[in-house]
Amino acid sequence: MTQRSLSSLPSVDRLLSTRVCARLIPLYGRSQVTDAIRDVLGSVREQIGSSGGEPPPTEAILATVSDRLASASEPSLRPVLNLTGTVLHTNLGRSVLPAEALDSVVQIASGAANLEYDIDSAKRGDRDTHIESLLTRITGAEAATVVNNNAAAVLLVLNTLALGREVPVSRGELVEIGDSFRVPEIMARAGCKLVEVGATNRTHLNDYAGAINASTALLMKVHTSNYAIEGFTKSVNETDLALLAHEHSLPLVTDLGSGTLIDLTRYGLPFEPTAQAAIESGVDLVTFSGDKLLGGPQAGIIVGKRELIERIRKNPMKRALRVDKMTIAALFEVLKLYRDPDSLALRLPTLRMLTRNADDIRESARAILPALEARLADRAEVTVVPCQSQIGSGSLPTDLLPGYAICVTPTTGDDRALQALARAFRMLPVPVIGRVHDGCLLLDLRTLEDPSALTNQLAQLDLR
Ligand SMILES: *Cc1c(COP(=O)(O)O)cnc(C)c1O
């Protein structure tokens, strides 16, 4: 019986010559379709071998082949709705680019571009030229360069200026950033020797002075963005540290992390040090991220003294860490928006979401509440609750932004129901990522600029 069932299965060749495969082959290529057919036939044989029965009809086999090919060609990287309450969420891709930047990326990536070509002289150019003047104009620095991300910027600066030499850093600034960036480890990989100075809570100018010797390459300050040491504390400011460094003919380097190019307090946001303030205090090189508070593409920006930037450009590691043309195109458009601080908060999505006022968010929450109530009916209770969003990406976790969330509480009140509900939202065509907190699923609406992106897919919420 089993033997007969197996022999009545269609052959690979017969399946390949069906009308269904004639449609699939141009879409996926003959070899992929053949592989999918072999896989599906293999599973069918196994099934019959273990539990007997009749082979499925040819149409059913072809439907499985077709489904398998379709799902294998779905990209793994997909858009999601970030309703976690963390605006700059590293795992969810950090900043959202403005339309100007996207248009420019599409244009530049669609054809050839003068990435490293000087049109005037027909000679080789430098990719930094496209963004250097905007960066120097905004920050007041003499020169600027851009690499893959801020971790790369720090690595490159240290490797260029301090290879085989010593770098004193305050014990209060030996930070670890979420995704495995640790100052001591980066130092080691950059080939330089970290010299810890001061104590965790207090570091004095004398501590730095005492650490300087003939092997010292530079002084370094790291912005402790994601934590605060409170109480009996002391750190040395950039101005004093720059004076000390320059007395010894050493450069001062500051890693600002989530550095910004504008005083955020003018928008009612918590204070973050700006790159221009660091330059003004006498810092010789400042590094910061492109996709944190700056609101641009992933990049590491280095601004400062021309002579130091030139040395960085000549380091062979620069070639390994450089940015591509799409990053440069996007960064240019984002930096351009900084020329008009008044319109910046409207035009730069990251800043627009960070500055969105609580009333506006509550309004939006109330507007979509009925749709959620209707869909979740007797399964969960849905309310609008005040909440606190976070800036994210190494900004102080204690600096919270008041807003509103939709709070979804399963009527049964048990954790399994809650996890199932959170999963149902994640399984939507555009996955909705909320935050499970205190027995409910919170959907923070600060970052939901288009409510229909949520409401349009509620019908597909799988509440089994
Ligand atoms: C975020 C951060 C980094 C790493 O920046 P990436 O752009 O994520 O590589 C380095 N230093 C500090 C202080 C940071 O906050």
95 C-alpha to ligand 1 centroid (Å): 14
171 C-alpha to ligand 1 centroid (Å): 18
Q: Is the CB of 132 under 6 A from ligand 1?
A: no
223 C-alpha to ligand 1 centroid (Å): 9
> pLDDT value at position 179?
65
Distance separating alpha carbons of residues 211 and 167, to the nearest angstrom: 9
Tens-place pLDDT, residues 174-224: 887 766 788 889 999 999 999 999 887 888 999 999 999 999 999 999 988
* Model confidence band, residue 396 (pLDDT cutoffs 50, 70, 90): low
257 C-alpha to ligand 1 centroid (Å): 4
- Probe residue for ligand 1, chosen from 169, 175, 177 as the CB with the greatest number of ligand atoms within 8 Å: 177
Q: Which two tokens stand for residue 387?
A: 């909440």
Which residue's alpha carbon is nearest to atom 14 within ligand 1?
A: 257
Tens-place pLDDT, residues 262-287: 999 999 998 889 999 999 999 999 99
Residue 228 · residue 234 · CB < 8 Å: no
DSSP SS3 for 281: coil
Which residue's alpha carbon is nearest to atom 5 within ligand 1?
A: 150
State mean pLDDT over 68-75: 92
Residue 433 · residue 81 · CB < 8 Å: yes
H or E element, residue 380: strand 380-392
23 C-alpha to ligand 1 centroid (Å): 48
